[in-house]
Amino acid sequence: MAIDYREWRDGDDLALLEIWGDPDTAQARQFRGALAPSSNGRDGTPWRRCIVAEDVIDGVGIPVGAGVVYEASLHPELLWAYVEVARDHRRAGIGATLLTMLRREAAEAPSGVTKLRAKVEPGTAGAAFAEASGLKPIQRSRLVVVEPGALKLPVFPDKDYGGRPVSGENAGSDVVMDLATGSVELTDVVGRYYTSVHTWDSPGVLSAGQVQRLFLDELTGAHGAIVLRAQPESAFGAGVAPGKKGRIRAFAVSYAAAHASDSGAGQGPAGQDDAAPGAPTDVFIGHEPSLAADDAAEAVRDILALIAYQHPVMLELDDSMAALRAAVEPLLENGKARLAAAETLVVSD
């Protein structure tokens, strides 16, 4: 077998698709889309290097493998990498050669970032290859469906902050509120939460505009948000109506079907392809990052109970999301929540 390596050219995607067939995993499906001509990153497209491996038969090169490495503006401290080799050409060192070549390219990345990261599914050839290549798991991510009524609804006091009785249906109305997805207060807490659960792969400094584009504006499919607030307190003591609302403790943003998650990184809210009746709603749940761990866990559990009271919801659960894990893992154990897809590992140098 004589293998040649060259730069990616237009048309390689079709040639490779024919020889590769269906992708091994959801991650492979996602990252095949990143195979594209190399770019120096000057025209607004991210810096990218893409290499093709050809099997040369009778002087004619047939593409059998490809690898890509590229910068991402979100999570800029690592480079994304992806390698794929046709099934009948695997275990012959082509993947390892492509990765070595990508590393050489990465050493020249204009940002100066050289460390790679990739996504793999545990138990697959990709995961074994990553391990053999020295890429270690830095995060595990699970797509979870929480069944309706899995958690008990929170009980809100039947007296308001001023000690006045509130009737049953109004109980909690000063702590559970709808909020417009364009809200500055919501944008702020969503951005700080996302950053706080990504210390393992920093998103860099997120502007309010970026947070809107990633999670909240119309193009993300965000169609509503509710927040759980702290009880408002009056500066004049109990019995006097406070002028301000309490601080946000937790938030839940829901998305219409086919929410486009952040391209490549895939670390945003879960994606969903269809809107069949009874299909779970895609949600992004988080909390004020400065809350104490047990307070955050309680706030997240309560807001999850509220949004998953009558309808199933789907959410992305990273191991770094301690409060959400505290709410969801017991449900996975008792069968009131299930995995919607295989686990994903983010692996890195």
How many other β-carbons are positioned within 10 Å of the β-carbon of residue 120?
A: 25
Question: Least separation, in Å, of the C-beta of 80 and ligand COA?
Answer: 9
Q: Kindly tell me which of 99 and 291 has the beta carbon lying closer to ligand COA.
A: 99
Give which of 148, 177, 337, 181 is closest to 259, Cα–Cα: 181
Determine if 63 is a binding residue for ligand COA (CB under 6 A).
Answer: no
Question: Least separation, in Å, of the C-beta of 56 and ligand COA?
Answer: 16
Question: Least separation, in Å, of the C-beta of 59 and ligand COA?
Answer: 23
Question: Least separation, in Å, of the C-beta of 31 and ligand COA?
Answer: 7
What are the distances in angstroms from CA 196 to CA 34, 206, 217, 326, 334?
27, 12, 21, 17, 29
Q: Which of 84, 105, 201, 282 binds ligand COA (CB under 6 A)?
A: 84
**Total binding residues toward ligand COA, as defined by CB under 6 A:** 23
Q: Could you give the CA distance from residue 55 to residue 146 in angstroms, rounded to a whole number?
A: 47
Q: Which of 36, 92, 177, 257 binds ligand COA (CB under 6 A)?
A: 92
Residue nearest to ligand COA (CB): 126
Contact stretch for ligand COA (CB under 6 A) within 2-10, 90-98, 203-211, 319-327: 90-98
Q: Which of 28, 102, 146, 190 binds ligand COA (CB under 6 A)?
A: 28
Q: Kindly tell me which of 124 and 202 has the beta carbon lying closer to ligand COA.
A: 124
Determine if 94 is a binding residue for ligand COA (CB under 6 A).
Answer: yes
Query: Would you state the structure tokens that stand for residue 136, as one six-digit string?
Result: 């270690």
Query: Would you state the structure tokens that stand for residue 285, as one six-digit string?
Result: 């749940």
Q: Kindly tell me which of 101 and 230 has the beta carbon lying closer to ligand COA.
A: 101
DSSP one-letter string for 1-55: --EEEEE--TTHHHHHHHHH-S-SSHHHHHHHTT----B-S-SSSPPEEEEEEEE
Q: Could you give the CA distance from residue 3 to residue 89 in angstroms, rounded to a whole number?
A: 10
Q: Amino acid letter at 307?
A: I
What track of x and - describes contact with ligand COA for positions 184 through 213 (by CB under 6 A)? ------------------------------
Q: Which of 50, 51, 74, 83 binds ligand COA (CB under 6 A)?
A: 83
Residues 107-166 touching ligand COA, rule: CB under 6 A, are: 118, 120, 124-126, 128-129, 132
Query: Would you state the structure tokens that stand for residue 273, as one six-digit string?
Result: 């392809």
Query: Would you state the structure tokens that stand for residue 50, as one six-digit string?
Result: 């893409």
- Please list, in sequence order, all residues whose beta carbon lies within 8 angstroms of the beta carbon of residue 264, skipping any fewer than 6 positions away: 30, 31, 34, 70, 72, 80
Q: Kindly tell me which of 84 and 160 has the beta carbon lying closer to ligand COA.
A: 84
Q: Could you give the CA distance from residue 226 to residue 255 in angstroms, rounded to a whole number?
A: 12
Q: Could you give the CA distance from residue 1 to residue 184 in angstroms, rounded to a whole number?
A: 60
Q: Which of 90, 140, 247, 311 binds ligand COA (CB under 6 A)?
A: 90
- Please list, in sequence order, all residues whose beta carbon lies within 8 angstroms of the beta carbon of residue 344, skipping any fewer than 6 positions away: 26, 27, 119, 120, 121, 140, 141, 142, 266
Query: Would you state the structure tokens that stand for residue 277, as one six-digit string?
Result: 């009746």
Determine if 32 is a binding residue for ligand COA (CB under 6 A).
Answer: no
Question: Least separation, in Å, of the C-beta of 135 and ligand COA?
Answer: 8
Contact residues for ligand COA (CB under 6 A)? 24-25, 28, 81-85, 90-96, 118, 120, 124-126, 128-129, 132
